Structure 1
């Protein structure tokens, strides 16, 4: 819930953030949320496999943005649909997803060593 809150908050204060931070922060937090949800669902699965599942999911959502039909664009035009599916394919989102999922995996490894 904390990551979701930070992600939504980052959209509210986007105009106050530096351009490079604004470009990656929201999408990185979204990908971190996907990593955490995946880890929660598959809690006995090794971190690397969670990373692979989460990054695959994130990349597929981004690639789905290349497809435009009325039915999916109508979903994207809703608040929840836009937050989950996004609107337009961007290479910078691929990088942001990698950062978010990578941060989650590194953080989990550091925590699990304790």
Structure 2
């Protein structure tokens, strides 16, 4: 696989915008969207960033690394060191590291990475048909 870095940078920025919007306008969205979509988008962003960073990796490897990273970040929320909590109290720290462990987040991360895998597959098939 050979990913286009410009495409993955664009996808990353779009995903960040959607994720921030899902939090900012949470009150206007259905409850389940406000509660879960931001976490799925966060994991999707991680998948895009892995694809951007290692464009020649296969889809499966990128997905495993992205999901592993997301799960490690979630597990790190079980560790409540004062310095880490201070970092989590900042906006960037909260966005990247989260605040509290939730089992449902693991499902959201899985769905977000699977969405990235599915979108890549669709683009590859569409690209193959036009070639």
TM-score by length of 1: 0.97
For 1:2-17, what aligned pairs fall within 5 Å after superposition?
A: 2-17=14-29
* Equivalent residue pairs, number: 114
Residues 47-101 of structure 1, C-alpha deviations (whole Å, 9 max, x = no match):
0000000000000000000000100000000000000000000011111101110
Work out which of the two has the higher radius of gyration on C-alpha atoms and give 1 or 2. 2
For 1:20-99, what aligned pairs fall within 5 Å after superposition?
A: 20-99=32-111
Relative contact order (alpha carbons < 8 A, sep ≥ 6): 1 or 2 greater? 1
1:109, CA displacement in angstroms?
Answer: 1.1
Question: What root-mean-square deviation, in Å, do the aligned CA atoms of Structure 1 and Structure 2 show?
Answer: 0.7
Residues 11-61 of structure 1, C-alpha deviations (whole Å, 9 max, x = no match):
100111111111211001110000000011110000000000000000000
C-alpha distance in structure 1 between counterparts of 2:19 and 2:63, whole Å: 20
- Runs of 4+ in structure 1 deviating by more than 4 angstroms, as ranges, are none
